[in-house]
Structure 1
């Protein structure tokens, strides 16, 4: 693959992604336009492709998702969270406990350094975890591999669950790919560019997604300005995020991680099962469907969960509210958790 020119690699990436995304879309797979490019990116990355997505395009893609999420957000979403705050708090604490247990066991039964295992298993925003990991002594390459491997597993599993649970209704609405553009589209572009720039400048974790979502929601819900996010723009954002995740699975990093790959996969599946159990518990105490609960507790990246939620006819406002709360909770507790795992997991391993 690395013998091909960049132009040939881009051509292959583009056409293969379109074909696989269209095939998934035809069979009503949720997040088809994310999964298709992501899988093609993984295959090409492991085959030695030298393509990389510029970070600015990745941030703009997240900002597009933020504007899409903004259309579903309103102040009313705070009501169920505040009314059921003990349950929400319990879910957050149990998620942290599941994450900590997963990271502890991974470090305990593998050769990974403590900080690397802790940050790699943290179920927050993948890009935020990778960005912070290097400051705490972790191997950023392995953390990135673990984070995006989990995103790949979670995105695929969530799409399959959504497909089984919702059947053909997941994509039963005929999409209008190229609607007439109105003033809301230009407002959307302004929110998107300004939010991505400011979120990065202020170093807010996942700020390129969260700031456009919050600002856009304020404008959209109050009627000051209605946002317009056409399907073609969303499809482009999905593809950029899928390629950004997929192409990170390079051959050198894969070979570096090969020794601990079985433990990584077991850790990811275990964390997914634990969060799935939390989702089932959530449906027993709150009036929400299983798919909404599953996505709200799913340990995937904020952007990929948002894409799957948008295509799955779930309560996207509840999903994003709980995912955002968890992201900030993990960002606050992550350093302390990493230190704990690094100190005690290897200590016990040595003692045994």
Structure 2
């Protein structure tokens, strides 16, 4: 009489208790962030946890961030961006809106065509590539993909992989640009003084706007609502956005872990066949964004690093952290990133659905 085999024994980090896994991840993230900071890499406090999260995910770690933790991270990033908003941002945007619109449309078109090509070559099943290659609004695209019968795991992998590549390239470009310009960002003061009343007002605003954004189901509501409403309040002097760097560091770490831990053995094995074409499409998209940045810099007189970060194809929260830790025009970067996110959210699902219909074989 044979007995059914039991579950396979846990391997790698999965053998450890979850509190131990979290402790090791915290230590690894702090050590790697310190090393990257020592080398002068922008957004080291994001990249250290992100890369550590990837290493842990691929080593069998079973820990994942709870959704409230992700929302807290997004709210902190959105509030941080709001503190950089001034009244000049709208003037700049309105003065160059045809150019901005053309750049945004070019990025969306290129990403959509990449997905269409991968799908037509039958590298990925069904319409998965169309949704996975979308330049932004990752959450919306994953929901739409699942509703349209695409492989949600592959779509998530492609979206996370693009965020990883874009963030890494943006951080390296920002670091290299420092060497060209000779402008070093100020060292991080984790315990920077913050006026208590301003801090309290900021926290109240952050909590209220985040709740509003989630209730209204805004795209990336955890980031967008604090960013937009807080930015208006900050620019008009109603409140002064003030956050201590130690609190922002927590937000950076949470965001980095959320991205990094999304890479696990199962999803990477599942996506193995799609890895090379996906990477190629991401590299092409990053290259196109670089060309668009050069065009933006030449025609609008924007410094090259600001233009590059502004045209980088997502994710908005990681680009915001890199911009905040670099010597760039943060409001300009976020104006273009926000406009792209809004446009992708408005037309992206319909555009992806149209392309998906074109790749579906006819019935009969």
> Does residue 137 of the first structure (1) align with residue 149 of the second (2)?
yes
1:66-145 matches, cutoff 5 A = 66-145=78-157
CA-CA distance at 1:180 after TM superposition: 3.7
Q: Is the 8 A contact 2:82 2:226 kept in 1?
A: yes
Check conservation: 1:171, 1:311, Cα contact below 8 A.
no
Distance 1:53 1:302 in 2: 19
Deviations 1:281-321 (A, max 9, x none): 11121110111111111012010110111111111111111
Partner residue in 2 for 1:307: 321
Would you say 1:178 and 2:220 are equivalent positions? Answer: no
2:267 is the alignment partner of 1:253: yes
Distance in 2 (CA, whole Å) between partners of 1:56 and 1:2 is 23
Establish whether residue 297 from structure 1 lines up as the match of residue 325 from structure 2.
no
C-alpha offsets along residues 185-231 of structure 1, whole Å, 9 cap, x if unaligned?
11111122222222111110011111111221222222222121111
Contact conserved, 2:36 with 2:48, CA < 8 A, in 1? yes
Distance 1:170 1:5, change over 3 A: farther
The reply to whether residue 325 of structure 1 matches residue 339 of structure 2 is yes
Match of 1:229 among 230, 235, 243: 243
Corresponding pairs, count: 348
Q: Distance in 1 between matches of 2:46 and 2:165?
A: 13
Q: Which runs of 5+ in 2 are unaligned?
A: 1-12
> Which of residues 214, 220, 226 is equivalent to 1:212?
226
C-alpha distance in structure 2 between counterparts of 1:92 and 1:57, whole Å:
31
Shift of the alpha carbon at 1:171? 5.0
C-alpha contact 1:276 1:294 (8 A) present in aligned 2: yes
| Residue 297 of structure 2: aligned partner | 283
Q: Which residue of 2 aligns with 1:155?
A: 167
Deviation at 1:83, TM superposition (A): 1.4
Q: Normalised by the size of structure 2, how large is the TM-score? A: 0.91
Match of 2:205 in 1: 191
Match of 2:45 among 15, 33, 48: 33
The answer for unaligned runs of 5 or more in structure 1 is none
**Higher mean displacement: 201-210 or 74-83:** 74-83
Q: CA deviation at 1:132?
A: 3.8
Q: Distance in 1 between matches of 2:360 and 2:89?
A: 43
1:347 shift after superposition: 5.0
The answer as to whether partners of 2:87 and 2:236 remain within 8 angstroms in 1 is no
Alignment of 1:269 with 2:269, yes or no, is: no
4+ residue segments displaced more than 4 Å = 168-171
Q: Distance in 2 between matches of 1:126 and 1:90?
A: 22
CA contact (8 A) 2:32 2:49 kept: yes
CA distance in 1, matches of 2:182, 2:152: 40
With 33-42 and 72-81 compared, the bigger mean Cα shift is at: 72-81
Q: CA deviation at 1:331?
A: 1.3
RMSD of the TM alignment (CA)? 1.7
SS of the residue aligned with 1:2?
helix
CA distance in 2, matches of 1:332, 1:7: 41
Of 20, 24, 33, the match for 1:12: 24
Distance 1:316 1:114, change over 3 A: farther
Q: Which deviates further from its counterpart, 45-54 or 113-122?
A: 113-122
Contact 1:113 1:342 in 2 (8 A): no
CA distance in structure 1 between the partners assigned to 2:187 and 2:44 by the alignment: 15
Aligned partners of 1:316 and 1:115: how far apart in 2?
Answer: 36
- Are 1:59 and 2:81 an aligned pair? no
Over alpha carbons, which structure has the higher Rg?
2
